[in-house]
């Protein structure tokens, strides 16, 4: 993008500010205590300014698409930089993930939360608390699938949830197998877990909005989201 004036830059920032605030609010559900929504807005604006400076019209993407990616990436990076989870919490989360996977292979169906809690010999509420931890630990990494393209940019979970007939960056990068595996894993999730992922990543609803759509509490949405992430993370680990 050619050199632009400060006035033009301000106009672009004003245009994209609602989008910055939207992402700040969207990811605010995962905030550690050290961060505020305002911090995420600031990070998003920095990402937007970087996008303005780095955008090249010859890219096969509009400024809007490029800026949107950078805004979201900057906000996610800000949250990641402040995340900290104890070794004990990580251990519990890994045990829950392995137990869901083990039981589902044994039962040849989705394991219920009650069955997993019984197998782990813990109260159901403790399992729910662990599942909520999965949101802060794995949501960011799952959203970009832990993989990057040739430009170092993250690959998005939307590529596995959205229209399979559409053109996909994963297809372009010869990662069809990963997309197929994850797409199948998402399709195999229980209906509510699949709906939560679809509404959150594809329809871009907030956890609160999803709760209203499914007529469940926001905390229950969080639990379903966390459980789905654990299962998809297991699929990714096996794929690697």
Are 45 and 94 part of one and the same domain? no
pLDDT at 212: 92
Of residues 211, 25, 224, the one with CA closest to residue 134? 224
Are 151 and 181 part of one and the same domain? yes
Are 185 and 210 part of one and the same domain? yes
Are 70 and 185 part of one and the same domain? no
Q: What is the pLDDT along the chain (240 residues), one digit of tens a residue?
A: 556 778 888 888 899 999 899 888 877 766 666 778 899 899 999 989 988 888 776 655 677 877 888 888 888 778 777 665 567 777 888 899 889 989 988 988 888 999 999 999 999 989 988 887 766 555 444 454 444 444 444 445 555 554 444 444 444 444 566 677 778 888 888 899 999 988 887 787 888 888 999 999 888 888 888 888 888 877 777 765
Quote the Cα angle for 233-113-99, to 5°. 50
221 located within any domain: yes
Are 186 and 105 part of one and the same domain? yes
1 located within any domain: no
CATH number, residue 155: 1.10.10.10
Are 95 and 209 part of one and the same domain? yes
**Cα distance between residue 128 and residue 193, in whole Å:** 14
Domain count across the chain: 2
55 located within any domain: yes
Are 199 and 106 part of one and the same domain? yes
Q: Given phi > 0 = left and psi -120 to 50 = alpha, else beta, which region is 146?
A: left
CATH number, residue 42: 1.10.1740.10
Of 55, 82, 109, at which residue does a domain stop? 82
Q: Given phi > 0 = left and psi -120 to 50 = alpha, else beta, which region is 152?
A: left
Q: Supply the pTM of this predicted model.
A: 0.57
pLDDT at 121: 94
pLDDT at 69: 80
Range of the domain at 74: 6-82
Are 47 and 111 part of one and the same domain? no
């Amino acid at each position: 993008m050619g050199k632009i004036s400060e006035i033009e830059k301000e106009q672009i920032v004003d245009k994209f500010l609602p989008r910055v605030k939207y992402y700040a609010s969207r990811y605010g559900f995962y905030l550690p205590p050290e961060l505020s929504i305002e911090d995420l807005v600031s990070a998003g604006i920095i990402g937007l300014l970087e996008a303005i400076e780095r955008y090249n019209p010859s890219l096969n993407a509009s400024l809007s698409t490029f800026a949107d990616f950078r805004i979201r990436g900057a906000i996610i990076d800000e949250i990641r930089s402040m995340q900290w989870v104890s070794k004990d919490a990580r251990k519990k989360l890994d045990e829950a993930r392995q137990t869901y996977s083990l039981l589902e292979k044994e039962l040849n169906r989705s394991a219920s939360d009650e069955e997993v809690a019984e197998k782990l010999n813990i109260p159901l509420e403790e399992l729910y608390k662990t599942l909520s931890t999965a949101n802060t630990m794995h949501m960011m990494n799952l959203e970009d699938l832990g993989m990057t393209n040739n430009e170092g940019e993250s690959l998005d979970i939307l590529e596995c949830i959205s229209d399979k007939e559409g053109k996909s960056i994963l297809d372009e990068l010869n990662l069809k197998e990963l997309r197929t595996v994850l797409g199948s894993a998402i399709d195999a999730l229980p209906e509510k877990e699949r709906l939560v992922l679809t509404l959150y990543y594809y329809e871009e609803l907030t956890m609160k909005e999803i709760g209203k759509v499914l007529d469940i509490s926001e905390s229950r949405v969080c639990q379903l989201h966390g459980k789905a992430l654990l299962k998809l993370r297991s699929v990714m680990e096996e794929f690697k």
